[in-house]
């Protein structure tokens, strides 16, 4: 006896949510480096303690504010994402993120999922089905967020240098205060990261889990965010080490003041892009926390010393960033096409 359409849809939804959890683990494996690398690279805390703080505040950010950006990915870029499309999108992004994480490259998981949505949208709806006003805002945020992070990283270091470092003179209390400030900044950065990045794993499912394609209520959004956040934390703890080491030690060498400036910049920029556009337009902007993290590190390090940034590693990261968009868009479209042919 064959299955009715409702049973098939339920099975596909379960498969999709399982893939979303795998996607969340991949996101944690790649993006956990973004809020944690300054603390680890500066030696302020061990990797184990840093990841424990990361876990707590990422879950908090995801559950309290994750809905702001989930809404953008789930219903802003294209009019609707069906369950086959959601599976194709998540699978496409997961493949590229996992490959990049194995290489130790901090790519944009947000760009990966959004590019896969675009590939799906073009194949199903053609270009006319894309919401170009939202897309333009997202693309602009991709460009402005690392530049903002670079600027604030540079500015925060100069502020720390003028008002604290020049008056330090070996004062142990000031050194301890800077370390405590860095740990507090880690909490803020992890919270902002959770608010932004949980959408990359679960955003494509928000309409599917609603009644007749409507955006689900806040309780459903909360559980989707919690579900994704748990996967992100598991990924960060289990497979996040390679990318954390790249940002913490290979882009530049971080001391406590530089790490504090970079961490503050990253946290502020990610939080601002997730929150302010939502309050104004109703859609939080899903920026790349990776771009913001690298931009913040480069900005703070440049303020400390013009020759402190590893150009080779930075150039390799940029190459991966550039190729993310076409690769994930192509994968999203191809996988969706294959599913529609064979399923």
Instruction: Supply the pLDDT for residue 1.
Output: 44
Across all residues in the chain, what is the average pLDDT? 87
Confidence of residue 182 (pLDDT cuts 50, 70, 90): very high
Distances in Å between the Cα of 312 and the Cα atoms of 229, 250, 309, 316, 318 are: 33, 10, 9, 6, 10
Give the range of the structural domain holding residue 306, as residue numbers without chain letter. 5-342
At a CB cut-off of 8 Å and minimum separation 6, what does 15 contact?
A: 87
Half-sphere exposure at residue 29, Cβ-oriented, CA atoms within 13 angstroms: 22
Q: Is the pLDDT of residue 72 over 80?
A: no
In the predicted model, is pLDDT for residue 142 greater than 90?
Answer: no
| pLDDT score at 306 | 65
> Looking at the predicted structure, is the pLDDT value of residue 130 above 90?
no
- Summarize the confidence of residues 150-158 as an average pLDDT: 96
DSSP state of 107: -
Q: Which of 162, 175, 157 is nearest to 304 (CA)?
A: 157
**pLDDT score recorded for residue 259:** 95
Give the pLDDT mean for 32-51: 95
Binned at pLDDT 50, 70 and 90, residue 39 comes out as very high
pLDDT at residue 212, as a whole number: 44
Supply the pTM of this predicted model.
0.87
Number of structural domains found in the chain: 1
Separation CA 169–CA 81 (nearest Å): 59
Summarize pLDDT for 189-221 with one digit per residue, the tens.
999 999 999 888 887 776 566 544 455 567 778
* Phi, psi dihedral angles at 160 (to 5 degrees): -60, -40
Structure tokens at 204: 């494509």
d(CA 120, CA 78): 9
Q: Alpha carbon of 149 to those of 91, 140, 231, 269: distances in Å?
A: 30, 14, 27, 6
What pLDDT, on the 0 to 100 scale, is given for residue 194?
Answer: 95
> For the residues 251-268, what does the mean pLDDT come to?
93
Of the chain, the percentage scoring pLDDT greater than 90 comes to: 48
pLDDT digits (tens, 9 = 90+) for 105-125: 888 888 898 899 999 999 998
Report d(CA 251, CA 246) in Å as an integer: 7
Among the ranges 77-81, 120-124, 221-225, which has the highest mean pLDDT value? 120-124
């Amino acid at each position: 006896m064959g299955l009715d359409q409702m049973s098939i849809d339920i099975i596909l939804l379960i498969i999709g949510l399982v893939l979303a959890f795998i996607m969340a683990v991949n996101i944690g494996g790649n993006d956990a480096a973004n809020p944690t690398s300054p603390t680890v690279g500066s030696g302020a805390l061990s990797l184990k303690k840093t990841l424990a703080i990361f876990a707590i505040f990422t879950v908090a950010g995801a559950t309290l504010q994750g809905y702001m950006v989930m809404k953008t990915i789930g219903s802003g870029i294209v009019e609707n994402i069906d369950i086959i499309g959601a599976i194709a999108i998540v699978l496409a992004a997961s493949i590229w993120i996992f490959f990049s994480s194995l290489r130790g490259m901090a790519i944009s998981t947000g760009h990966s999922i959004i590019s896969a949505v675009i590939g799906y949208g073009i194949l199903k709806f053609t270009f006319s089905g894309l919401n170009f006003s939202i897309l333009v805002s997202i693309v602009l945020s991709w460009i402005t967020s690392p530049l903002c992070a670079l600027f604030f990283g540079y500015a925060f270091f100069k502020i720390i240098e003028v008002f604290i470092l020049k008056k330090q003179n070996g004062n142990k209390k000031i050194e301890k205060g800077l370390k405590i400030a860095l740990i507090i900044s880690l909490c803020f950065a992890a919270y902002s990261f959770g608010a932004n990045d949980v959408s990359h794993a679960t955003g494509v499912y928000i309409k599917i889990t609603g009644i007749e394609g409507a955006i689900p209520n806040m309780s459903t959004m909360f559980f989707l965010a919690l579900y994704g956040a748990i996967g992100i934390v598991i990924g960060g703890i289990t497979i996040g080490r390679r990318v954390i080491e790249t940002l913490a030690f290979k882009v530049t060498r971080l001391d406590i003041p530089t790490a504090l400036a970079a961490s503050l910049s990253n946290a502020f920029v990610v939080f601002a892009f997730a929150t302010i556009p939502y309050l104004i337009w109703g859609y939080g902007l899903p920026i790349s926390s990776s771009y913001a993290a690298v931009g913040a590190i480069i900005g703070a390090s440049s303020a400390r010393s013009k020759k402190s940034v590893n150009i080779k590693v930075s150039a390799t990261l940029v190459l991966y960033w550039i190729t993310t968009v076409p690769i994930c868009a192509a994968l999203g479209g191809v996988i969706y096409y294959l599913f529609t042919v064979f399923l």
